[in-house]
Each structure stands twice: as structure tokens, then as C-alpha cells.
Homo-oligomer: A and B are copies of this chain.
Amino acid sequence: MSPIGPGGTLGIVGGGQLGRMIALAAARYGLKTHVYCPDPDSPAFEVAGRHTRRGYDDEAALVVFADQVDVVTYEFENVPRRTAEILAARKPLRPGVIALATTQDRFAEKSFVAKLGIPTAPFRAVGGEADLLGALEEIGRPAVLKTRRFGYDGKGQVMIRPETSASDAWRTLRGAPCILEGFVDFEEEVSVVAARTVGGEFAAFDLCANTHSHHILDTTRVPAGVSGEAEREAVAVAARIAEALDYVGVLAVEMFLVRRGGEEHVVVNEIAPRVHNSGHWTIEGAATSQFEQHVRAVCGWPLGSAERRGRVEMKNLIGHDADRWRELLGEPGAHLHLYGKSEARPGRKMGHVTRVFAKP
């Protein structure tokens, strides 16, 4: 499989802000882009040379799309497996079908991580109310019941506290196959955003600390302020996960930082087989952005330097936060990014702002 060169076409499945920022990075390297997304208002359409507005189950359209591009990537982990297989049969799909299948099912994902000997929260598959009662018996409360598939930003999950009725919790998720996860008493939520090439080259950006608001990422800070040992452990965990998935592209591994015996350690929470919101700081904060790094990896090119430029803070602009755009434009050193979404619905990611401070 020869690598693609400038002038080639990168196919991107999914037309949200992540696809948009991948397309912008690809353009910088002289690549053409073709975005596939059913949504007519896809922000990525505006910056891509071509787009296809068809369903993910439209096999004929997927075949035409694959024929028009040189390599295919995606911006979200819920690409249906059949869609991925159709594309992968025709063009290099990076990351591959296995990474996608493993990470789009929370139970498969946690089982995969646990099998590598990497700590996760205790978890059990839950197929029915009886399962849930048994799992709660084993794991204890508080615990979180999550749908195995299609959850993001806190959607598809319910906290089970000592007083919560298990039946109610189960009904809330409407009988979808679930996973029960034990509660982790963490000090910090951190993530590793890293890239791996076809040849196995691996490069991680510096570990970042994340705070969430209403289950949506609010702020990312780098450096994360954890011990050097914990940071090395976190990066090593991400590298093992990438290796085991034979991963190509950028991935994010969200982790909990916990204290055991006076030392900081990491517990894996979630793997995102894609560029990630907690990596947006790299656009101004690192020598190579996560989007450039992803394009390099999926095209079969060498990775760029992941070196950090200073102390960095990234803040998401959710819903009407983006109304402050003019004030943010006027703030020296604030780097404003807006995604071109027309309607500022509550909870909708409209943009972000990155502040880079001199190196400490």
C-alpha cells in the first residue's frame, strides 16, 4: 500500500468540527479532501473540495466515495461496522476496522484494555435487569450504568447512587445493552493524545488535565500537573493500547488519575479512535497539531514534533458561550476557533479558545 502524496485526496467520514479541522490540516499539506456525511449542515463541507451527503448505510454512495479518494479516515467512533468494512475493502481505512469495532462498544473496549493488564474501573456487561442487580452486588454503589454503544458527552448513562432504584436506572436506558462501571475515586481526569504510524512510530503530546461541566469537556490544561512517573505511565499505557490495536492515526485515551499507596497511577476510562477535543490545544500549543499529526499518520507520512510551546489552556465554547466571540477576539493572546455552526443550541460545541503562556 503506497503512501499518498500531496495532491492526493483524503476521504473523511463525518462532517462535524473534527472533520472540519482535519480537512483544514490536510489542506495545509496540499491534499484535497472529500467529506462524507448525511447532515446537510455539516461544518466540514465548507472547507472540503468535495462532499457527499448520503447516509452511512448507502452502499452505492460509499463505493463511489471510496473510488474518489486515496485513503479514508473518520471523525467519530460510531461509524457503523458495515460502513467501515465497505470502505476498508476499497481503500486504506485508518484507523482500521478493529480499532473502530473495539472502541465503539464500551464492554468490548474495557475488556480489551483489561486483557492488556491495564487498570480500568471494575465493569460488568448488563443485558437485563437481573444482570444489573447481580452486577451491582459485585461492583457496589455508586456505579454508572452506560449503554454499550452510541454514548458521548454523558448521553446514554445514568449514575446509580445508594438510593437509586436499579429498575428505574435500567428503564432510563430503554433496555439497550449496557455496561455497569464501578465508580473511580479520582484526583484528576487526564488524557493522552498520541499518534501512531503504519510503521509503528508513536508520538504522544504532553499529558493534559481535563475538567468537565455537565459531562461535556470544559477546559484542558497542559502540563497536567501530575508527577513525571504518572505521566510516563499514562503515555506507556496509550502506546500499548495503540500497538495492540495496530492503530494508525491519532487516538485519545481518557484516564483517571488515582492515588494508591501515596503514588499517582492511571486508570483507563475511555479510548477515542480519533482526534479529540482534549487535543485542540495542540493547534497553537504544540509544534504539530493533532490534526496535522493525524493527517501525517493516515497518509503514511512521518510524524511531526509533538513538542509543547508553553503552558496551555483550552476552553470549549458551548452553546451561547460563543456569543462572546468579539470579546475573545479582542483578548491579546487568546486564539479563537469557531466551527461555523449556524445554531447555538445548549450543550452544542460551537468553538474553543486556546491561551498559550510562556514556558514555565
Interface residues of A (CB under 8 A from B): 5-7, 20, 23-24, 27-33, 45-49, 287, 296, 301-302, 304-305, 307, 309, 322, 325-326, 329-330, 332-333, 335-342, 351
Contacts and interface: CB of A to CB of B under 8 A. Distances in A.
The 8 closest A-B pairs by CB, nearest first: A30-B338, A46-B49, A302-B330, A30-B340, A6-B338, A305-B332, A27-B47, A301-B329
Nearest to A351: B30
Given A302-B330, A333-B305, A340 B6 contact: yes
Interface centre among A20, A46, A49, A332 (most CB of B within 10 A): A46
Nearest to A283: B28
A28 B32 contact: no
Given A27-B46, A46-B27, A46-B49, A340 B20 contact: no
A28 B325 CA distance: 12
A329 B351 contact: no
Contacts of A49: 45-47
A302 B329 contact: yes
Given A24-B28, A32-B46, A305-B333, 9 more contacts: A6-B322, A24-B24, A27-B46, A27-B340, A29-B336, A30-B341, A46-B48, A287-B333, A302-B326
